[in-house]
């Protein structure tokens, strides 16, 4: 990613697109070890994932006027099915290739796909996983990772560019911990406490899933005096809770320092701060998402200095959907910070 951006020094860069392509590449490598996908293939995957997520969160006229449901006027049913078929075709090819490779070479891989295929081959109806289930899980992981991670980074960079003092503080921490002669590595992350606070504050102000995911109770329950019927669909407004002035000082301000004073992380039982959900249904990919966001954001800020074109101010208007994205993509101009050109290779 840094190599690609370094080649665009002094030119406007769409940060959302750049980090999204990197995230897709990392997720593919994590899920099935793919590393040879061409740039055009990555762009197509990203575009289809973006469109799929947009359609999931789109307002469906048929929900309000069911009489129109058979006509699918907006294509909200047919278009996702088309994308689903396309992704399943890719997954089918990858799965069959992996199965054939194992038969020929008995090659062992520790990626996510290999673990899913082990479950598929158990032969136990209670614990085995069908190939259809494997493909569904691969799609869930792709959707969950490739949209939320770059969106978080884009919001973080937006807030840092809006608050130069916070950017300066983060740069100073990176220079102290990493140094100007090194590149950011995973081993540096535990000591980058202000970076961690920046990400946590970004997720407080801009939770990626503002209403989390819908939950359905198996039985009628009473919560805070309210009756919640069984099988009803429940949405939790994390966006409002994390900006509640009764819970947060200066709730609309970008203040990463608030997370330096507390041990608040991503706990399972904290209902004031829940960007990844809470309880048993907390996001299963929270550890991967956290590490990727921290690492990618650290690399962007450590290796490059960022400025806005023509002295513009970054736009913070939101575009509502399943994922809370910026209304206008963040476009910024990078400049090299490091003196050694080999650090950009």
CB-based burial, 322-345: b 16+ in 10 Å, e otherwise:
bbbbbeeebebbbebbbeeeebbe
CB 45 within 8 A of CB 52: no
Query: 283: annotated binding-site residue?
Result: yes
Q: How far from 179 is each of 138, 185, 306, 338, CA to CA, in Å?
A: 38, 12, 18, 10
Distance in angstroms (rounded) separating the CA atoms of residues 46 and 33: 18
Domains along the chain?
16-146 (no CATH), 149-345 (1.10.630.10)
pLDDT one digit per residue (tens) for the chain, 345 residues: 777 888 888 899 999 989 998 899 888 888 888 665 566 688 888 899 988 888 887 888 888 888 888 888 888 889 999 999 999 999 999 888 888 876 545 555 677 888 888 888 876 666 678 889 899 989 988 888 888 899 999 999 999 999 999 999 999 999 999 998 889 999 999 999 999 999 999 999 999 989 988 888 899 999 889 999 999 988 889 999 999 999 999 999 999 999 997 655 566 667 889 888 887 778 878 888 899 999 999 999 999 999 999 878 888 999 877 888 999 999 999 998 888 777 777
Instruction: Supply φ then ψ for residue 278, to 5 degrees.
Output: -155, 170
H helix intervals, the chain: 2-6, 15-32, 39-56, 61-64, 78-105, 112-120, 131-146, 148-162, 164-177, 193-205, 238-241, 286-303
Distance in angstroms (rounded) separating the CA atoms of residues 109 and 184: 27
The residues near 249 (Cβ < 8 Å, ≥ 6 apart) are 255, 258
């Amino acid at each position: 990613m840094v190599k690609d951006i370094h080649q665009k020094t002094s030119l406007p860069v769409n940060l959302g697109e750049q980090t999204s392509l990197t995230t897709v590449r990392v997720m593919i490598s994590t899920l099935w070890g793919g590393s040879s996908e061409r740039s055009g293939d990555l762009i197509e995957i990203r575009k289809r994932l973006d469109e799929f997520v947009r359609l999931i969160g789109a307002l469906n006229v048929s929900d309000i006027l069911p009489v129109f449901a058979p006509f699918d006027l907006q294509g909200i049913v047919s278009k996702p099915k088309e994308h689903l078929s396309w992704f399943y075709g890719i997954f089918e090819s990858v799965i069959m290739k992996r199965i054939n490779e194992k038969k020929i070479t008995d090659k062992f891989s520790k990626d996510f796909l290999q673990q899913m295929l082990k479950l598929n081959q158990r032969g136990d109806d209670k614990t085995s996983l069908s190939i259809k289930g494997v493909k569904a899980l691969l799609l869930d992981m792709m959707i969950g990772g490739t949209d939320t991670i770059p969106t978080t980074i884009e919001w973080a960079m937006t807030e840092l560019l809006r608050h130069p003092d916070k950017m300066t503080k983060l740069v100073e921490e990176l220079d102290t911990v990493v140094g100007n002669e090194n590149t950011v590595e995973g081993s540096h992350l535990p000591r980058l406490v202000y970076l961690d606070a920046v990400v946590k504050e970004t997720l407080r102000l801009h939770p990626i899933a503002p209403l989390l995911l819908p939950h359905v109770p198996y039985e009628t329950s009473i919560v805070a005096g309210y009756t919640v019927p069984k099988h009803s669909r429940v949405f939790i407004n994390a966006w409002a809770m994390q900006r509640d002035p009764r819970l947060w000082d200066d709730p609309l301000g970008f203040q990463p320092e608030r997370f330096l004073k507390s041990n608040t992380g991503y706990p399972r039982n904290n209902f004031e701060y829940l960007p990844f959900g809470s309880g048993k249904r907390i996001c299963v990919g929270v550890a991967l998402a956290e590490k990727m966001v921290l690492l990618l954001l650290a690399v962007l800020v450590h290796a490059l200095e960022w400025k806005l074109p023509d002295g513009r101010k970054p736009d913070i208007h939101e575009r509502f959907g399943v994922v809370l994205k910026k209304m206008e993509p963040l476009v910024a101009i990078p400049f090299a910070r490091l003196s050694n050109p080999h650090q950009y290779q």
